[in-house]
Amino acid sequence: MPEKPSIPFSEPPYLAGLPSPYYSSSHLKWQKACRAFIDENLNQYALDWEREEKVPPEVFEKFAAANMLIPTLPAPLPVEWLKRLGVRNILGAVKVEDWDYLHTAIYTDEMSRSGLSGPGASLTTGMSYGVPPIIKFGSQDVQERFLPDLLLGKKRICIAITEPDAGSDVANIQTTAVKTDDGKHYIVNGAKKW
């Protein structure tokens, strides 16, 4: 039975020893490994990085090397792609084909334990929002060109949706990208906040 938390309600009930019909031994193993990794590589420095408004690049590299950017993707994970790239599990705790939304919820919970959103979000937001559209809507050519480096954390991705008049309201974006007549370039017109 898990150890009871010293501060009431500071842990999810399943970690406080209460029975759960949802959390399996796989989830408990994942939570333990996930917490240890995040405490060591993120939480102990999170306040300093929040103040500095910058997370050192080597932190992203550590997360990437441990496949700890992948859990920010929606379940089910892109198993075929991950296995093709040699990724079989996350932290040796969960096989990629066994990953479910509860594993994702545990990851999200552990990433937020510092109480600061900046450092964790700076590591995962691009993967969260930029990679799923490529997996779901990208042509085979686009997937082949971008997914290997993105899934392994060799390259980063972002989305550019903020505008002065739309914020992050994607439906109200005014910026356009029109291909040139020769089809080689795009002409982008509009305004961005950052």
Average pLDDT over all residues of the chain: 91
- Tell me the pLDDT tens digit for each residue of 19-61: 999 999 999 999 999 999 999 999 999 999 999 999 999 999 9
- pLDDT of 4 higher than 70: no
Q: Which has the higher per-residue pLDDT, 89 or 9?
A: 89
**Once rounded to an integer, what is the mean pLDDT over residues 66-72?**
96
**Once rounded to an integer, what is the mean pLDDT over residues 126-148?**
95
Q: What percent of the chain has pLDDT over 90?
A: 71
Specify the pTM. Answer: 0.83
What is the 3-class SS of the chain, one letter each residue? CCCCCCCCCCCCHHHHCCCCCCCCHHHHHHHHHHHHHHHHHHHCCHHHHHHHCCCCHHHHHHHHHCCCCHHHCCCCCCHHHHHHCCCCEECCCEEHHHCCHHHHHHHHHHHCCCCCCHHHHHHHHHHHHHHHHHHHHCCHHHHHHHHHHHHCCCCCCCCCCCECCCECCHHHCCCEEEECCCCCCEEEECCCCC
- pLDDT of 5 higher than 70: no
